Amino acid sequence: MADFAFDIKDQALAEEGLRQIEWAERDMPVLRGIRARFAAERPLEHMRIAACLHVTSETANLMHTLRVGGAEVALCASNPLSTQDAVAAALVTEFGVAVHAICGEDDDTYYRHINAVADLRPHITMDDGADVIGVIHATRRELIDGVIAGTEETTTGVLRLRAMEADGVLGFPVIAVNEAQTKHLFDNRYGTGQSTVDGIIRATNVLLAGRMVVVAGYGWCGRGIAERARGMGAHVTVLEVDPLRALQAVMDGFRVSTMAEAAPHGDVFCTATGDKDVIRGEHFDVMKDGAIVANAGHFNVEIDVPALRERAVGVSAPRPSIEQFTLADGRSICLLAAGRLVNLSAAEGHPASVMDMSFANQALSVEYAVRHAEELENRVYVVPPAIDDEIARLKLAAMNIAIDVLSDEQRRYLSSWTEGT
Ligand code: ADE
């Protein structure tokens, strides 16, 4: 019986959750190696960590690693629809993590759970979307002085934290895990790419081959989605506001357009911009009958869902994760996962193999923050390049892939400006 507070769906699901956690663990060799070292060194002894992450089997492996490193850990969800309830149960009963998360929780419960995690009086915060940091800075300011550092997993969260830093209101240092190359080059591109297409297919069972898929945003996530949709035979149109990225999309072989132009033609729309109001009322007005609309950005602001509701004369739920809105002219538009992260709401999020690197960055960044607490200022820091290199090296080794090593002469050549052709 757990001797700490928690709030989950059902403790009886723990055995099923444990099997899922063990299945993910098979594909997380870098994190397993870190865990083995943490077991010997206990670098997080006496640390209290408040984490707000998607409660998945991959996250459970990170939580286990932090516990083995000596930390006391509380965990809430970073999205109301992404919690795997069986995993939450196993975390409580098998790993001693104080989980406050239930799949499908309403907004009040979501924030109550964030506050419950903040009640731990954390030394370290760990965020996926800056919600714990946001709540601590907005309403739990008495906790700020006790926090050594935070970590942040997402592009969206890092943008917010940099805005806080620029306004001089960031109350403690934060390590931007998202900025690590071994994070965004893999998790955002291959993880989001695969899991978003997976979510759209699980929700709809639509055939992508021959369909027109419109991807809004050509950051690393958008690129991943566009590449994977193309790989399944879709005709992919990319929308991007940044001219450099738009040009890259053109030269990567995608059609580049505007939402106004693409709206009447798309079969499947997916947003991954990080910004609000990307698909709006005027776009719904011209979409094809049966158009499918989904979001892969962190917050549910990219699709103007209220505008869709306003236009609807009827709503039905033909399958889980689909709301089919019938409009006055008889067309229907299918919204997936209520406009929330489709890859975590309608599928299981990124595969373990890619979360292995993201969460290795989390674990090593926490260790770094604890060891360097005295030196850090109230700023947003990138993950130290040595950690990035180490994770890439460990991942290659786990994949049994050897790479060449520079000779002394080659190294000298690269650092010299006198040696010519
Ligand atoms: N973000 C995206 N995919 C994830 C996963 N599988 N676990 C935790 N966070 C995620």
3-class SS of residue 75: strand
Q: What is the pLDDT of residues 159-179, one digit of tens each?
A: 999 999 999 999 999 999 999
Taken in order 7, 9, 13, 17, is the CA torsion positive or negative?
Answer: negative
Binding site membership of 178 for ligand 1 (Cβ less than 6 Å): no
Please give the pLDDT value at position 289: 98
Q: Compute, in angstroms, the gap from residue 348 CA to the centroid of ligand 1.
A: 8
User: Which residue is listed with tokens 């869709």?
Assistant: 308
Distances 310 to 280, 285, 301, 304, 313 between C-alpha atoms, Å: 12, 12, 16, 10, 8
Q: Is the CB of 69 under 6 A from ligand 1?
A: no
Widest CA span of the chain, in angstroms? 74
Q: List pLDDT tens digits, range 103-137.
A: 999 999 999 999 999 999 999 999 999 999 999 99
CATH architecture of 192-345: 3-Layer(aba) Sandwich (3.40)
| DSSP secondary structure string for all residues of 318-366 | SSTTEEEEEETTS-EEEEEGGGSBHHHHTS--S-HHHHHHHHHHHHHHH
- Amino acid 31: pLDDT: 98
Q: For the structural domain made of 11-183+349-398, what CATH number should be given?
A: 3.40.50.1480
Which one of 78, 195, 341, 342 would you pick to mutate in the ligand 1 pocket, going by the greatest count of ligand atoms within 8 A of its CB?
A: 195
CA–centroid distance, 85 to ligand 1, in Å, is 14
- What's the average model confidence in pLDDT over 396-419? 94
Residue 217 reports pLDDT greater than 90: yes
Nearest atom, ligand 1, residue 341 CA: 2
Q: pLDDT band for position 267 (50/70/90)?
A: very high
**Rounded to an integer, what distance in angstroms lies between the CA atom of residue 220 and that of residue 12?**
39
- Report in angstroms the alpha-carbon separations of 392 from 102, 112, 127, 183, 340: 34, 38, 23, 10, 31
**At 400, which amino acid appears?**
N
CB 200 within 8 A of CB 229: no
Please work out whether the CB of residue 54 comes within 6 Å of at least one atom of ligand 1.
yes
pLDDT at 110: 97
Whether the pLDDT of residue 92 is over 70: the answer is yes
Average pLDDT for 196-203: 98
Measured CA to CA, the distance from residue 308 to residue 339 in angstroms comes to 11
pTM, 2 dp: 0.94
Q: Tokens representing 286?
A: 């011209």
Ligand 1: nearest atom to the Cα of 351: 6
Looking at the chain, which residues constitute the CATH 3.40.50.1480 domain(s)? 11-183+349-398
Measured CA to CA, the distance from residue 81 to residue 55 in angstroms comes to: 10
pLDDT at 2: 85
Residue 401 has a CB neighbour count (10 Å cut-off) of 8
Kindly give the distance from the C-alpha atom of residue 87 to the centroid of ligand 1, in angstroms, as a whole number.
Answer: 13
- The predicted pLDDT at position 119 comes to 98
pLDDT tens for each residue of 139-149: 999 999 999 99
Q: Of ligand 1's atoms, which has the minimum distance to the CA of residue 192? A: 2
Q: Separation of 287 CA from ligand 1 center, angstroms? A: 31
355 lines ligand 1 (CB under 6 A): yes
Residues of the chain above pLDDT 70, percent = 99
**1 pLDDT above the threshold of 80:** no
Interval 32-83: pLDDT, tens: 999 999 999 999 999 999 999 999 999 999 999 999 999 999 999 999 999 9
CA of 355 to the centre of ligand 1 (A): 7
Rounded mean pLDDT of the chain? 97
**pLDDT tens for residues 278-293?**
999 999 999 999 999 9
In contact, 68 and 32? CB cutoff 8 Å? no
- How confident is the model over 219-265, as pLDDT tens digits? 999 999 999 999 999 999 999 999 999 999 999 999 999 999 999 99
| Backbone phi and psi for residue 257, each to the nearest 5 degrees, phi listed first | -150, -170
Which pLDDT score is estimated for 419? 77
The length of the chain, given as a count of residues:
421
Question: For residue 83, is it left (φ>0), alpha (ψ between -120 and 50) or beta?
Answer: beta
Instruction: Give the residue, out of 55, 58, 195, with the most ligand 1 atoms within 8 A of its beta carbon, to mutate for a pocket test.
Output: 58
Helix H or strand E segment including 174: strand 174-176
State the distance from the centre of ligand 1 to the C-alpha of 243, rounded, in angstroms: 30
| 204 CB within 6 A, ligand 1 | no
- Residue 384 neighbours by CB distance under 10 Å: 15
Sheet order of strands, 268-271 included = 255-257, 235-239, 212-216, 268-271, 291-295, 332-336, 322-327, 312-316
Q: What pLDDT band is residue 421 in, cutting at 50, 70 and 90? A: low
Ligand 1 near 58 CB (within 6 A): yes
Please give the distance, rounded to the nearest whole angstrom, from the Cα atom of residue 191 to the centre of ligand 1. Answer: 8
CATH 3.40.50.720 boundaries in the chain = 192-345
Q: 103 with 83: CB under 8 angstroms?
A: yes
Ligand 1 center from residue 69 Cα (angstroms): 21
The 10 Å Cβ neighbour count of residue 36 is 12
For residue 349 and ligand 1, the question of a CB distance below 6 A is answered with yes
Would you say the CB of residue 59 lies under 6 angstroms from ligand 1? yes
